[in-house]
Structure 1
Amino acid sequence: MTSSTTVTVLRYAAFTSHPGGGNPAGVVLDAAPLDEEQMLAIAAEVGYSETAFLTSRDEQRRRFTLRYFSPLAEVAFCGHATVAAAVALAGRIGPGDLVFDTPAGEIGVETVADGQGAVRATLTSVPTRSRPASAAEVGAALSALRWDAADLDPALPPHVAFAGNEHLVLAAGSRARLADLNYDFAALTGVMETYGWTTVHLVWRESDDRFHARDPFPVGGVTEDPATGAAAAAFGGYLRTLGLAPAAGAITIRQGEDMGRPSELRVEVSPHDARMRVTGHAVPIAE
């Protein structure tokens, strides 16, 4: 069993209500017989930034073990593949609460039918944390991105933020800077491998509760993610650490627009809890 032709791989677009938007994810609902090598081979054949594999299941308790593979390696946590897997499960066992045991820790997900034939999922992340990025980290990333320090928004300082994986957060000073992404793939891969980052989370602040984002993911063999739930959760923790979360407690992140796959992620930021709640839809992608 070495290819996706021998197992059923479902394909979903996450953080969108339209198959042409969002971030595509593969979902294998019965992956118990697969070993790591087989799962990696399937993820590489599928070719999406991540494929989620349910390796054990307890449908009575609605508790499942979930692993994530990019085309190149296993990833501790992936938000969009979690949403895709949750919506796929809701279609088979009904909407409701789910629990996923992941390499990053326990992830709870609420699934709700929205009344229009779609299912909305809200994941609760592991506890987040965020720290200032060092000058060496920022300098190496800017060089690989072909950005200058003057391109950054001084009101949103560079941080390394965590919500199951670590992400470098860099805020662009303008929407035009964010839109013009032409980075050195090999160089950024090397920087990210050196520091252990899963993505570089590039953001631009439109308002206190609305952001635009792009997430280079060369360490996964993918130029860019069109929707990144793990990075969105980490970014919510970043805002919480800096005291920049809006009074209403929720932000909207628009992502994928510059790739032609528009996505929308809602992040709830609580001053009393380091865990973030990230919400979005997922819809099947036709074969």
Structure 2
Amino acid sequence: MAREYAIYDVFTGTKLAGNPLAVVFDAAGLSGEAMQAIAAEMNLSETVFVLPPDNPTHAHRLRIFTPATEVPFAGHPTVGSAVALSERRHGTPDGGLDLVIMLEEKIGPVRAAVKLQPGRPTFAEFDLPKLSEQLPLEPDADGLAAMLGLAPRDIGFENHKPSLWSAGVPFLIVPLRDVAAVGRIVFDRQIWARVSPADSLRRAPVYAYCRGGIHHEASFHARMFSPSMGIAEDPATGAAVAALSGALHRFDALPDGLNRLMIEQGVEMGRPSHIHLHIEVFGGAVSRARIGGEAVPVASGVLHV
């Protein structure tokens, strides 16, 4: 059977930057095993398979696979799929068009807003289906430093400390002293297999970050490593930023109101990505968080499976 697909670069307005995503538009009839095999064949950080929704009032159901496993939720597949599906249906209307679509993921319904603009990359953002929560962790600064090929003094900045957070997918969040330290990371997966906490499925990916960045608008600079997902390093990780939102609120004591942040990632890979994170705080607690970014098409084709 012929199934159309497209590849989008996500969290960027520039082709051949950001994080590439494959979107298979008609996945009806494919088994989970077939989807996993196709994702391994694509060998991108993630491949999305579009299915009819379980709830007829929703737009689509998505299944998201890395080269090694299925995940219940991910950021760049949500943004990229929202853009790809909206452009496929509406094109880029002359006067522009703002849409709100409901996407079903394994974590639950995800509300996405899409802005189609003639002559500009399409922007999409989504509400976190689950707010970030902290999980138990007994950090070993020496072990974390060895895992990253750094010195213990590079771990942490201000009052930011290593911690474990999840907004659907757990991430080991490791603050580093500065951009130079982030750039010096040499990730050791054997040490990671010893020091990273594990749930019933896999060991937690590592999200290393520092304050500031290369881009003048960057609030934070980050890198992500996930051997258990088959991802040596990821150019942009929305699910990690979703997890990071909880750590930023805790360590920075974000004020009530709307806090607008931009996280850059992928710089060291030559695929700079810009992830917009909006955190709404009310009464000292996070009431809502959104992640957004641009996405641009770079390829299309047909799968004969």
* Correspondence for 2:273 among 236, 246, 263: 263
SS at match of 1:40: helix
Does structure 2 conserve the Cα–Cα contact (< 8 Å) formed by 1:130 and 1:241? no
Q: CA deviation at 1:234?
A: 1.4
Separation in structure 2 between the aligned mates of residue 103 and residue 238 of structure 1, nearest angstrom: 24
Q: CA deviation at 1:171?
A: 0.8
Q: Structure 2 counterpart of 1:216, which letter?
A: F
Q: Equivalent residue for 1:210?
A: 219
Q: Structure 2 counterpart of 1:161, which letter?
A: W
Q: Equivalent residue for 1:97?
A: 100
Q: Equivalent residue for 2:179?
A: 175
Does structure 2 conserve the Cα–Cα contact (< 8 Å) formed by 1:158 and 1:170? yes
* TM alignment of 1:34-113, pairs within 5 A: 34-57=30-53, 61-94=57-90, 96-113=99-116
Q: Does 1:185 align with 2:189?
A: yes
Aligned residue-pair number:
283
Q: CA deviation at 1:275?
A: 3.6
Moved more, 195-204 or 223-232: 195-204
Q: CA deviation at 1:194?
A: 2.7
Separation in structure 2 between the aligned mates of residue 191 and residue 24 of structure 1, nearest angstrom: 29
Separation in structure 2 between the aligned mates of residue 248 and residue 136 of structure 1, nearest angstrom: 31
Moved more, 261-270 or 142-151: 142-151
**Which 5+ residue runs of structure 2 have no aligned equivalent?**
91-97, 301-305
Separation in structure 1 between the aligned mates of residue 37 and residue 144 of structure 2, nearest angstrom: 30
Q: Does 1:278 align with 2:291?
A: yes
Q: Structure 2 counterpart of 1:204, which letter?
A: C
What's the TM-score once normalised by structure 2's chain length? 0.84
Separation in structure 2 between the aligned mates of residue 47 and residue 74 of structure 1, nearest angstrom: 13
Separation in structure 2 between the aligned mates of residue 222 and residue 52 of structure 1, nearest angstrom: 16
Separation in structure 1 between the aligned mates of residue 118 and residue 56 of structure 2, nearest angstrom: 25
Separation in structure 1 between the aligned mates of residue 44 and residue 287 of structure 2, nearest angstrom: 30
What's the TM-score once normalised by structure 1's chain length? 0.89
Q: Deviations over 1:130-150 (max 9, x none)?
A: 337633565554432233331
SS at match of 2:212: strand
Does structure 1 conserve the Cα–Cα contact (< 8 Å) formed by 2:64 and 2:72? yes
Q: Deviations over 1:155-196 (max 9, x none)?
A: 211121111111111111021110012111344256557344
Does structure 1 conserve the Cα–Cα contact (< 8 Å) formed by 2:36 and 2:67? yes
Q: CA deviation at 1:254?
A: 0.9
Moved more, 121-130 or 8-17: 121-130
Moved more, 245-254 or 47-56: 245-254
Q: Structure 2 counterpart of 1:206, which letter?
A: G
The structure carrying a bigger helix percent of its residues is 1
Q: Equivalent residue for 1:153?
A: 156
Q: Structure 2 counterpart of 1:276, which letter?
A: A
Q: Deviations over 1:173-223 (max 9, x none)?
A: 021110012111344256557344552111010289710011112112121
The root-mean-square deviation of aligned C-alpha atoms, in Å, is 2.5
Q: CA deviation at 1:23?
A: 0.3
Does structure 1 conserve the Cα–Cα contact (< 8 Å) formed by 2:53 and 2:104? no
Q: Structure 2 counterpart of 1:87, which letter?
A: V
Separation in structure 2 between the aligned mates of residue 264 and residue 229 of structure 1, nearest angstrom: 10
Q: Structure 1 counterpart of 2:168, which letter?
A: G
Does structure 1 conserve the Cα–Cα contact (< 8 Å) formed by 2:126 and 2:290? yes
Separation in structure 2 between the aligned mates of residue 188 and residue 71 of structure 1, nearest angstrom: 19
Separation in structure 1 between the aligned mates of residue 37 and residue 79 of structure 2, nearest angstrom: 22
Q: Percent identity of the aligned residues? A: 31
Separation in structure 2 between the aligned mates of residue 275 and residue 74 of structure 1, nearest angstrom: 26
Does structure 2 conserve the Cα–Cα contact (< 8 Å) formed by 1:189 and 1:218? no
